[in-house]
Amino acid sequence: MPGPLFRQTEDGAVSLRPREREDNEFYHRNVNDPDVRRLLRNTQPKNLKAIDDEFEKYSGNDGENEGYGFVICAEQMNDEPTPVGSIGIWNVDHVNASAWMGAWIDPEFHGEEFAPRGAALVVEFGFAELNLNRVQTAVFEPNRPSQRVMEKLGFEREGVQRQAQHIDGEFYDSYLYGMLREEWDGEEWL
């Protein structure tokens, strides 16, 4: 069961909830799913113990690599929030007012606008509450849906890391995207 409500869209259809240990089964199933795993930076198979061991690092502030991990939930699917994906903001650098963002969506819920709406909630949190000036992310070449999400939200493609990621025996480019606070206009997604 996802944690308490942290942020939600104005229509209440999508929310962010802090990642809790109880969400580890959901994470375990998804990070091992070939459709999700192949586009994550860490493509190694993970058992539930590995997911449990990583919980502190990826669920919240770990003390040295400040970050926040959330479960993206659909609110109108049943009486309780339904986990549909994961999103985080990490490497929060208060001196330079910047952070990294990354997400994945359970393949069962692809194409239902949970990615842009969840990302908009995190970007808004970064600018409004963390007082960031910049949010950035990297998307691998074969991940066209995530590229479209970043572009829908107004992120600029700022560069390319050539052949930076090895996926299924092939090397792929990684596209760097960035958003400045002054460029942010995510009202349609919130």
pLDDT digits (tens, 9 = 90+) for 112-128: 999 999 999 999 999 99
pLDDT at 100: 96
pLDDT of amino acid 41: 66
The pLDDT of residue 64: 55
| pLDDT attached to residue 1 | 62
Give the pLDDT confidence score for residue 60 in this predicted structure. 62
Question: Looking at the domain that runs over 7-133, which CATH code has it been given?
Answer: 3.40.630.30
pLDDT (0 to 100) of residue 77: 59
Q: Per-residue DSSP letters for 145-176?
A: HHHHHHHHHT-EEEEEEEEEEEETTEEEEEEE
> Residue 5: is its pLDDT beyond 80?
yes
Alpha-carbon distance 129 to 150, whole Å?
Answer: 21
CA angle (44 as vertex; 39, 49 as ends), nearest 5: 120
pLDDT at 43: 67
- For residue range 126-172, what is the model confidence (pLDDT) as tens digits? 999 999 999 999 999 989 999 999 999 999 999 999 999 888 888 99
Its pTM stands at: 0.91
CA distance 159 to 142: 16
**Would you list the DSSP string of 31-100?**
HTSHHHHTTSS--S---HHHHHHHHHHHHS--SSS-EEEEEEEESSSSSS-EEEEEEEEEEEETTTTEEE
Size (the chain), residues: 190
Tokens 């991940």, located at residue: 143
Query: What's the chain's average pLDDT?
Result: 89
